[in-house]
Amino acid sequence: MREQLADSVKQEFTYAWEQYVRNAWGHDALKPISHSYYDWYSHPLLMTPLDGFDTMLLMGLKSQADSAKTLLLDSLRFDEDISVSGFEVTIRMLGGLLSAYEMDGDKRFLKLAVDLAGRLIKAFDTPTGIPYRFINLKTGKATGNLTNPAEAGTMLLEYGTLTALTGDSLYYKTAKRAVEAIYSRRSKKTGLVGSQIDVMTGVWVDRESSISGGTDSYYEYLLKAWKLFGDEDCKGMWDSSILAINRHLADTSKGMLWYGRAEMDTGIINRPLYGALDAFFAGMLAMGGDTIRAIALQKSNYKMWTSADLEPETLNYRTMRITDGYYALRPENLESCYYLYQYTRDPAYLSMGAEMFRSLVRYCRTEGGYAAIKDVRNMVPDDLMESYFLAETLKYAYLLFAPEHTLDFSEVVFNTEAHPFRRHPSSTSPDGSPKT
């Protein structure tokens, strides 16, 4: 049963990749309905082949991996006059290059990673140390003064891995300074962070607090930087953050656990909204050792998924009314299923994952590849297959069912785009601070 499921996930990955090869080769993402492609910027950055490469290696798809590798090494160049999102390019591309290097061993991946990071790091040159949102890869001109905790604080794992691989501590120190700058501006009353901040002044511009998109991976990386590097400072920041989150954002409705959106200084939940992005948090609770809340939240995740047979972007968890019915092929619910299974070994998570995978195939598979859904209330497909569908959604589904030896869970930490980074044994974390 597990073996068959793993095989089906692999077949669906192969199918989605074939459609990319046919209609979007050399571009960032596949448009499955119009059988064409989408590029984020005026010059393609090969997001889909790079994001999907380590999944191919894990699935043992050798010929697909070989052709993706050739394309990447022949064509990927960063000296381009394009202003890119530091966050997206870090998690998808820098993360993809680093895991490609760690898994495949070809030094050209590391060389590309060093080149890319040398361009991205210029965004951190602000009075607060919190990076601008956008950076021109050629000119180094940074723009976008207003950012959020996730976009500013999700570089620790990539920059720290680069520090471990190159010995240059500047990467990790720079990323960590940004995280500490956000953390130090948390509310003195609640310990929560807001959702939008000015990189020049360090003043919060939007004071709503949540674990959702825009903040999610800031918290994720505090915990994971401790897991990956043993960084005790990050553990301290995670410990105090999770207390504040559970005190103010955790909410129950009809006996189920959810996390809502509150004003950062009062901790009062004004918007009882939860959605596809928030679903990652069950996995983080499990990783942080809070199995009881993790199990409860994954139950809510599953309810969210099954209430319309596919999860919505957001719902009001008090009324259970969908407030945004879009489904962007997101991975977080399957991701948490995978973590819960790793930490509990409860076969219920295999069944949950199997049901989620089946509804993905049922509603999102089209003759041009996998498509997002405009509204889970009518299942009309939308013309986009995001690169994270191959990097994350199908990877977590596959790893949930695949034999244990496919990837030793205890030896890696996944970045927020599901690129696995190997734990690097050393007595200090990448910035020289003590570790456990």
Residues that bind ligand DMJ (CB under 6 A): 91, 217, 277, 330-332, 388, 392, 416-417
Across 251-268, b (16+ Cβ under 10 Å) vs e yields bebeebbbbbbbbbeebe
> For ligand DMJ, which is the closer residue by CB, 187 or 416?
416
Is 220 known to be catalytic? no
Cα(179)–Cα(433) distance, integer angstroms:
15
Paired tokens of 205: 């511009």
Q: Token pair 């993706």 is at which residue?
A: 68
Least CB distance to ligand DMJ at residue 73 (A): 24
Largest CA distance in the chain: 56
The dihedral sign for the CA sequence 299, 416, 243, 212: negative
- For the CB of residue 254, give the shortest distance to ligand DMJ in the complex, in Å: 27
Nearer to ligand DMJ, 64 or 416 (CB): 416
Question: What's the min distance (Å) between Cβ of 88 and ligand DMJ?
Answer: 7
Closest-by-Cβ residue to ligand DMJ is: 416
Structural tokens at position 181: 């700058």
CA atoms within 13 A on the CB side of 32: 24
Compare residues 169 and 286 and give the one whose CB is closer to ligand DMJ. 286
Q: How far lies 369's CA from each of 34, 36, 294, in Å?
A: 10, 11, 33
Within 10 A of 64 (CB to CB), how many other CB atoms are there? 22
Give the whole-angstrom CA distance, residue 130 versus residue 364: 38
* β partners of residue 253: 256
* Nearest residue (CB) to ligand DMJ, 133 versus 330: 330
Q: Which of 208, 313, 332, 417 is catalytic?
A: 313
Nearest to ligand DMJ of 186, 330 (CB atom): 330
Six-digit token string for 173: 């120190």
**Cβ distance to ligand DMJ smaller for residue 190 or 357:** 357
Residue closer to ligand DMJ, measured from CB, 12 or 220: 220
Nearer to ligand DMJ, 204 or 327 (CB): 327
Cβ–Cβ under 8 Å, residues 298 and 348? no
Could you give the CA distance from residue 5 to residue 22 in angstroms, rounded to a whole number?
26
Which of 178, 179, 211 minimizes the C-alpha distance to 194? Answer: 211
Tokens of 12: 């669906």
Which parts of 34-156 are beta strand (E)? 36-38, 83-85, 134-136, 142-143, 146-147
In angstroms, what is the minimal distance from the CB of 113 to ligand DMJ?
Answer: 18
Helix (H) or strand (E) holding 75: helix 62-75
Burial 173-211 (b: 16+ CB within 10 A, else e): bbbbebbbbbbebbbeebbbbbbbbebeebebeebbbbb
The residues assigned a catalytic role are 313
